[in-house]
Amino acid sequence: MKTHWKITLTALTIAVAAALPAAAQNPDVAAAEKEGKVVWYTSVDVKVAESIAQEFRQKYPKIEVEVERSGSERVFQRENEEHQSGIKHADLVNTSDSTHFITWKKQGMLAKYVPAGVENMPKEYRDPDGYYATWRATLCVMGYNTNIVPPDQVPKGYEDLLQPKWKGKLTKAHPSYSGTSLTGTYAIVKKLGWGYFEKLAKMDVQQLQSTTATPKSIASGERAVMVDGNEYNMFIEIKKKSPVKIIYPVEGTPFVSSPVAVFKDAPHPHAARLFADFIFSVPVQQYLVDSGGVRSVVPGVNDPAGRTPLKDIKVIPDDPEGLLPKVDEIKKRYAALFGGGK
């Protein structure tokens, strides 16, 4: 029954598409190929980003993908700087700080575009007006190096890290650089207050920038425990047989959703839409989950065996509306304690 219905629908779509060749929601492959290029600003780990780009090139060899990878906050700044200077370079964007999308939408910088399949996603993961949707999600986890930390010593949560024995052994990402770290830092502030970070600042923490960097730091053994890092990078490290394990803190694990949006001024509008459709499609999402370690909110995509299901983890939901007015204060107070940023 269902299949019949689908076939009918497809036939109908083709008929409509034929009648209205410029239909807004159907990316025009020929036009995209004529544009020949798509520029993607993203904060996802550079190797994950390039592997997605590689998949896309294989399907559409006539379209070049240019990946510009940096931390979420850096991506936000670069885009704003360029936008203000009248430079139109980025076609679509992905960061792990949902407040960016609220801001850009308000400023009218985004194009209204709902990639195929997004309409089936749960409501909380997509903009009701169709400007952006959660392309990937991850948890902002703790983690440790199993060669350095004996099993009976493993910290259970954030509070444990203030014990003197962890001095000089911690690493953390920077909320002025990383959206995941910003989301996580905000969640910890809400739970434990700034007093927690004032004490943590005295623990001789290795201050890195990206939450993709902290898992690599503990994998190399440079530090024993990471205060925050991407769950997906931990899965990647574990797959590479690095001596690391994830900790889901007892206080709760911050959930971080990373939306994707197409820019209104995209220099390659068709290619951007084609690319958006591609990266939201079920096979690509499944690939992203399997090899990139992220969590997907697209229906029909499943976690591989061995990963703790989301429902079994005490998650602190992200709260972009609540975070937005606090972003500058968090960055400033954090930098006063840990340096860097502004």
Partner 1 sequence: MKIYVVSAEAGAHSIAGSAASGFPSTRKRRFSFDPTAPFSIAMALLLAVLVLLPLGWLAVTSLTDDSHAHFTLGHYRTLFLDREFLEPFWVTLWTSAAVGVLCVLFAAPMAWLVSRTDLPAKRLLRMLILASFATPPFLGAFAWVLLGGPNAGLVNKAYYALFHLRAFDASPLVNIFSAWGIVFVTALYTFPYVFTFVATSLDHIPSDLEEASAILGAPSWRTAIDVTLPLAMPALLAGFLVAFLQSMTLFGPAAILALPASIDTMTTKIWSLFQFPPKLGLAAAASLPLLVITVVLLRAQAAIMGRRGYSVLGGKTTGQRLIRMGAWKIVALAPFAFVLACSVLLPYGVLAWTAFMKNYSAPLAGNFTFDNWRFVFLEFSQTRLALTNTFVLGVSAATAGTIVATTVAYLSLRKLVWGHRPLSFLATAPVAIPGIVLAVGLFLAYTHPPLVLYGTLAIIFLAYLTKEMPVGYQQVSSSLKSVHPELEDAGRIFGATRLRALFDITAPLIRNGVIATWLFIFIGSIRELSATILLFTAKTKTVSVTMFDLRESNDWGPIAVLSLTMLAITFAMIVAIQFFTDRRNA
Quickly list H helices, the chain. Answer: 2-19, 29-35, 46-59, 72-84, 99-106, 179-192, 194-200, 213-220, 231-239, 269-280, 282-292, 320-323, 327-338
- Angle among Cα 305, 252, 185 to the nearest 5 degrees reads 115
Contacts of 141 (CB under 8 A, 6+ apart): 228, 229, 230, 231, 234, 246, 247, 248, 249, 253
- CB-based contact 280:115 (threshold 8 Å): yes
Query: Of the candidates 326, 256, 320, 257, which has an alpha carbon nearest to the alpha carbon of residue 104?
Result: 320
Alpha carbons 39 and 64: distance in angstroms, whole number: 8
Query: Could you give the string, one character per residue 69-108, with x where binding to partner 1 holds by CB under 8 A and - elsewhere?
Result: xxx--x-xxx-xxx-xxxx-xx------------------
* 219 contacts partner 1 (rule: CB under 8 A): yes
Single out the residue of 100, 126, 136, 169 in contact with partner 1 (rule: CB under 8 A): 169
* 46 contacts partner 1 (rule: CB under 8 A): yes
Single out the residue of 103, 153, 206, 286 in contact with partner 1 (rule: CB under 8 A): 206
| Closest distance to partner 1 from the beta carbon of 221 (Å) | 4
The piece of 20-28, 106-114, 281-289, 330-338 that touches partner 1 (CB under 8 A) is 330-338
Distances (CA, A) of 302 to 49, 80, 235, 329: 20, 36, 15, 38
Tokens of 57: 């090139």
- CB-based contact 79:185 (threshold 8 Å): no
Single out the residue of 100, 136, 223, 273 in contact with partner 1 (rule: CB under 8 A): 223
* 207 contacts partner 1 (rule: CB under 8 A): yes
Single out the residue of 98, 183, 185, 210 in contact with partner 1 (rule: CB under 8 A): 210
Number of amino acids touching partner 1 (CB under 8 A):
61
* 66 contacts partner 1 (rule: CB under 8 A): yes
| Closest distance to partner 1 from the beta carbon of 243 (Å) | 9
The piece of 114-122, 200-208, 288-296, 301-309 that touches partner 1 (CB under 8 A) is 200-208
Buried b (16+ CB within 10 A) or exposed e, 243-263: bbbbbbbebbbbbbbbbbbbb
* 342 contacts partner 1 (rule: CB under 8 A): yes
Single out the residue of 95, 98, 99, 176 in contact with partner 1 (rule: CB under 8 A): 176
Single out the residue of 33, 50, 159, 303 in contact with partner 1 (rule: CB under 8 A): 50
Binding residues vs partner 1 (CB under 8 A):
39, 41, 45-47, 50-51, 53-54, 64-71, 74, 76-78, 80-82, 84-87, 89-90, 148, 168-169, 176-177, 201, 205-210, 212-213, 216-217, 219-224, 240, 242, 336-342
